[in-house]
Each structure stands twice: as C-alpha cells, then as structure tokens.
Amino acid sequence: METKRKRKKRANPMANLSQHLAGPVVKDSRVLQAEMALRRNLRSGSWEKFVPGIRTLATSFGVSPATMVKAVERVRQDGWISNEGIRRRFTIHRDVILKSKGKEQVLRTLLLLAPKSGRTEPARGTSQLLLHLWEILTPHGWSIRFHLDDYASGKRRQKQWDDLVHLEKPQAVVAILGTPAMAAWARDTKIPMFFCGGALAEFSVPMAGVSSSLMLEEALDRLIALGHYKITLPLCERAPSFAANLKGMISRKLIMANHDFISDLNTPSDDSSGLDIFRKCLDRAFAVTPPTAIICLDWREYIAALCYVQEKGLQVPRDISLVCLSHDHAVDWFSPIPSHFMHPLDKLASTLGNWLEDMSTYNDYTLSASLRGTWVEGQTVAPPRV
C-alpha cells in the first residue's frame, strides 16, 4: 500500500525577513502589486489578444498562482478581460481598456526608519505599528519599506539617508523617534517626513507620538498619592530636551507635594547607554537614599531594574515599586505582573495614514499630536513601607 505523502509544512513568513522589511507582507499588498503590473501590461499592449496563463503571469510578476488568480479576477471585474470562449482563455478587450481611467498607477512607497541603538528597543513596537500601517495603507496603493539606521546618537547621517532615498525612491519618509538632525536633513532635501515620537528642536516636522511626559505625569500622581517621594527615573542617553522635560515634570510634582527634588536620587542621568551605565545610575540614587519606587522608560531598563533590586534582597512591591512607561507582548509572563502603560499604536497608525493622504496640508501646517498611553494596574505598585 502506498504511503501517504506528508504535506510540507508552510514556512513562517516572519522567518525570512531582511533588514529592509519588518512584519509579514499582507496578502492584499501582493495582490495589489500583481493587479497593477497586469494593468500596466494590458494598457501598454504587451499581449495582442489573450492574456498568458496564470502560472506564466505568476512567475513573471513574482507572486504565487493563488495571488495571481485574485489579481486577474479584479481586472476581469472591470471588463478589461474575460474568460468566456475557447479553452476559457482570458480575452483582452482593448476598447474597454482605452476608455477606462488609469487604475494601473504605480505603488507609492513609504520608507520607515527605526533607530539601531543599544538603548532603544524598536523591534516589538515598530513591528506592531507596521502591521497597523499595512492594514491602513495597502488598500490605498502604498508599499512600505523598513530600514534600521544608527541615528539615535543625534548625528546627521547625510550619505546614509541620501543612499536610502536613492535606493527606495519613497514618496515619504517616517522616522521612529526622529532627531533634529533628521528634521534638518528632510528640510534641506525637501522630502516629506513624519516623526513617530522623537525631538524636533527648532525644526518643523509633522509629528505624532505616545507622550512619555503624559504617562510619567500619571505614574507620578499614582505613586505620590500612595505616599512615594523617593522616586527614581534613570535617564540614560536621552536627548537633552527630552530629559529636561521629564526632569521638570518630576521636579514640579515633588515640589507641589512638599518634597525636595534631588537630581541624583530622582533623575540620575548619563550621556551613554548600556546595562553597566544604567546600573551606575541606580547606584547613584541608592547612594543618596534607597528609593521606594523606580520608573523605567522601556522594558530593557525595567528588567535591569528588577534584577538590580532583587540582587539587593528587595521584594517587589513590598519593598520597592516598579513602573514601566511601555508595553511588552510578554508582560503576562512576568511575576509579579508589571504596572505599565499600553501604547495606542492603532491611533498612531491612523494619524500617520491621514498625513500620508494629505501631505501637502500637513507640511504647510505642522501637525503635532501627543497620544496618551493607557495605565495597566499590574502588581508592582504598593504604598511604601514605613
């Protein structure tokens, strides 16, 4: 008896991602590209009477036969081709094509840049943002290209950015945690640019982001209401304007609550980044007086802080409270579950989508949208021990 052949397991689309592309390619994006390629060939007269077979088209356009079938069906519904007749081949209707409007327009390209840096962790948040963007933009003819670039230091990388634009030929560029140097470059090259968070300095670029300041304000209100004032927020390799804003927030909140602001305790800072640097900031805070609460900007810092206090024999939240101003998909695997903030990436993607559809308006009238994260109670915050 013949042994039944096992079906080959379908490969995970995430497994073969290059540095230029993050997230799976949404199926409709492939269908749209194949459809536009087919329309361009039909309008240019590549074939005289009949469209080549599905498999031939799929090979030519670099898509699967299933994707090609969907693309052909879209063109057939507009009357450009039909498959009634001999051998059910797709017959070309030149008269319909000539009367129709140019649906075969070229896909618009969006270049998405994320910082390649030791102190940031763009991969998780950026991949989720990419998925939201694909859902919003691909039906409108956008193709997204993703690159990691080492711009977090704030230096201007003129040649690298020029080379990327030359390679991808985008209609717009989006930067995750953009920098003033990038804003200056966008102004000089006259390329439409949008910041998903970051710092602008004196430059003008449309920007939307989840506000660290708003989340910090809420976290401080909750901690101070419980009786905390020995609160530490380490600031490692943060832009000066960003760090100054957060320092000002903590200073105001503590003074309003009749407590002193002590820089080395409340906001120990360093221009560099890395685990050792972060731990040294915590060392400086503990040297002043052991804090009763630590606020971390991202998950790497949260994990480092958790390990640090555990090494000191402190229990969370009995001895010290921990808060993270970010979200992680594996948050439920922590014990205790961290008190943190969820970021509204769907709203951020919608804001970006609106800008892309009306770039000229937003370039003339600067867009600045600060989105608020949602507090998740968790299990790592409690009143300080007396």
The CATH number of residue 72's host domain is 1.10.10.10
- Counting Cα atoms < 13 Å in the Cβ hemisphere of 362 gives 21
Give the residue from 99, 134, 150 where a domain finishes: 99
**Does 232 share its domain with 330?**
yes
Q: Is 267 part of any domain? A: yes
Structure tokens that stand for 183 in this block: 């804003």
Structure tokens that stand for 157 in this block: 């990388």
Residue 74's Cβ-count burial label (10 Å; 0-12, 13-18, 19+) is middle
State the pLDDT at residue 14.
33
Q: What average pLDDT does this structure show over 323-333?
A: 88
CATH code at 243? 3.40.50.2300
| pLDDT tens track for 96-150 | 888 776 555 556 788 888 887 544 444 456 777 888 888 888 777 787 888 888 8
**Does 124 share its domain with 59?**
no
| pLDDT tens track for 279-320 | 999 999 999 999 999 999 988 999 999 999 999 999 999 999
| Alpha-carbon dihedral 29, 35, 37, 40, rounded to 10 degrees | -140
**Does 142 share its domain with 202?**
yes
Q: Is 78 part of any domain? A: yes
**Does 60 share its domain with 86?**
yes
CB contact at 8 A, 385 and 318:
yes
**Does 191 share its domain with 116?**
yes
**Does 228 share its domain with 320?**
yes
Tally of structural domains, the chain: 3
**Does 84 share its domain with 148?**
no
Name the strands in the sheet holding 374-376, side by side, starting at the edge strand that comes first in the sequence: 231-232, 293-296, 321-324, 339-342, 374-376
**Does 115 share its domain with 93?**
no
State the pLDDT at residue 23.
36
Residue 25 pLDDT greater than 70, yes or no? no
**Does 118 share its domain with 81?**
no
Q: What average pLDDT does this structure show over 54-60?
A: 88
**CA–CA separation, 142 vs 106, rounded Å?**
9
Q: Is 83 part of any domain? A: yes
Q: Is 17 part of any domain? A: no
Q: Is 381 part of any domain? A: no
| pLDDT tens track for 226-274 | 999 999 999 998 878 889 999 999 999 999 999 999 999 999 999 888 8
Domain that holds residue 44: 26-99
Q: Is 386 part of any domain? A: no
Q: Is 5 part of any domain? A: no
Q: What mean pLDDT, rounded, does the chain reach?
A: 83
Q: Is 11 part of any domain? A: no
**Does 166 share its domain with 273?**
no
**CA–CA separation, 334 vs 296, rounded Å?**
15
**Does 220 share its domain with 183?**
no
Give the residue from 41, 73, 99 where a domain finishes: 99
Give the residue from 40, 65, 99 where a domain finishes: 99
Residue in the structure block whose two tokens are 């699967």 = 64
**Does 236 share its domain with 317?**
yes
Q: Which phi-psi region, left, alpha or beta, contains residue 361 (left: φ > 0; alpha: ψ -120 to 50)?
A: alpha
What is the pTM (predicted TM-score) of this model?
Answer: 0.68
